Amino acid sequence: MWSPLIRPIKNRYLAYFARRVIHATCPESYFINYMKKQQNPFKEATYALTFDFDFEKDIDAFPLLLDMLQKHEIKAGFAVIGKFVEKYPDIHKRAVDEGHEIINHTYTHPDNPHWAPKRYFNKLTYVEQKAEIEKAHEVFHKILGIECIGFRTPHYGNLHTESVYPILAELGYKYSSSSAASAYNGYGAPYTHSHGIIEIPTGCSIHFPLAIFDSWNMLRKNKPFLGDDELFVNEFAETMQVIAEHNLFLTHYFDPYDIIENNKLDKICHILNTSNTQTTLYRDLFHQHSS
Ligand SMILES: [Zn+2]
């Protein structure tokens, strides 16, 4: 009854107001009712952990992040950019060797301050967007020896464009993970979008069902939803309880430099391993279908 409420509201201010009201009054029931409408392709409670490597400080966090995932025996998806793979091949090779999944996050990550300032992905032409994705694909193939099948738009929904789907189809890709669950079909689960491409929307959390659960919204921005690392970890734990209880699918992305601070990643991995939920990679979605 709740779920169709927000998405059709095209007026930004009305949508903002509706979100505030729901977050302030009935977030848990909204979250549960919304998520229960999804068709979980894995049938059982499943979580996909992903990270976006956008800045040098994310690369600095890479070794510790890999150590932590190794300690907890969790495989994750890494949205990485071609320029960084060229600059730091060894740490990316380690990620591949340890069984993690590489997600194409473009060659330069427009508007990355190092290489592509004042260049915005949604302002690029079709040909330029395709070149950004294709060039990263070639770098991953040459340096890491992999054939990437998934993509994430730099800056997600804000700069995400529909032109991505035909490009991905042309390149033989299988999925994109570039939208917010609350603003997309599928109720937080993978869903066929267009041109045969599956969109895997990034998920939310139990008390903020109409926001993306990431460190930007929860901790970093001006007036963050939580603003405290302990609350952040607790929010994750409570959310995972619901996922386990109702056999749901959920995926989040985190910023590497941020999530390793104050042992947040260590705690999140521990919660994942004790929550009656299996973890998965996006690519497993396609393996299990073909098997
Ligand atoms: Zn990014």
Q: What is the DSSP letter of 202?
A: B
pLDDT of residue 119: 87
Strand partners, 47: 250, 279
Q: What's the domain count of the chain?
A: 1
Q: What is the mean pLDDT of the chain?
A: 91
pLDDT confidence of 291, banded at 50, 70, 90?
very low
Amino acid identity, residue 216?
A: W
**Mean pLDDT across 113-123:** 85
- Cα(12) to centroid(ligand 1), Å: 24
Task: Give residue 29's pLDDT.
Answer: 93
pLDDT in tens, 47-91: 999 999 999 999 999 999 999 999 999 999 999 999 999 999 999
Q: Residues whose CB is under 5 A from ligand 1 (ion)?
A: 52, 54, 154
80 CA distance to ligand 1 centroid (A)?
8
Q: Is the pLDDT of residue 95 over 60?
A: yes
201: domain CATH number is 3.20.20.370
CA distance 44 to 40: 7
Domain presence at residue 18: no
Give this prediction's pTM.
0.93
Q: What is the whole-number distance in angstroms between the Cα of residue 151 and the centre of ligand 1?
A: 11
Tokens 């590497």 locate to 256
Query: Could you give the CA distance from residue 196 to residue 112 in angstroms, rounded to a whole number?
Result: 30
In a domain, 37, yes or no: no
Contacts 24+ apart (CB under 8 A), 220-226: 220/258, 225/23
> What is the helix, strand, coil percentage profile of the chain, to 5?
50, 10, 40
Taking the centre of ligand 1 as the mean of its atom positions, its distance from the CA of residue 108, in whole angstroms, is: 10
Query: Residue 19 falls within a domain, yes or no?
Result: no
pLDDT at 10: 65
Residue 11 in any domain: the answer is no
Measured from the Cβ of residue 255, the count of other Cβ atoms closer than 10 Å reads 21
Q: What is the pLDDT of residues 217-259, one digit of tens each?
A: 999 899 999 999 999 999 999 999 999 999 999 999 999 999 9
Instruction: Report how far ligand 1's centroid is from the alpha carbon of 152 (Å).
Output: 8
Domain range spanning residue 114?
26-32+42-290
Alpha-carbon span 216 to 121, nearest angstrom = 20
**Is residue 222 one of the residues assigned to a domain?**
yes
DSSP string, 152-163: --TTHHHH--TT
Q: How far is the CA of 144 from the centre of ligand 1 (A)?
A: 20
Residue 183 located in a structural domain? yes
- 92, two tokens: 């990316």
The Å distance, Cα 196 to ligand 1 centre, comes to 24
Pairing of strands 198-199, 175-176: parallel
CA of 110 to the centre of ligand 1 (A): 9
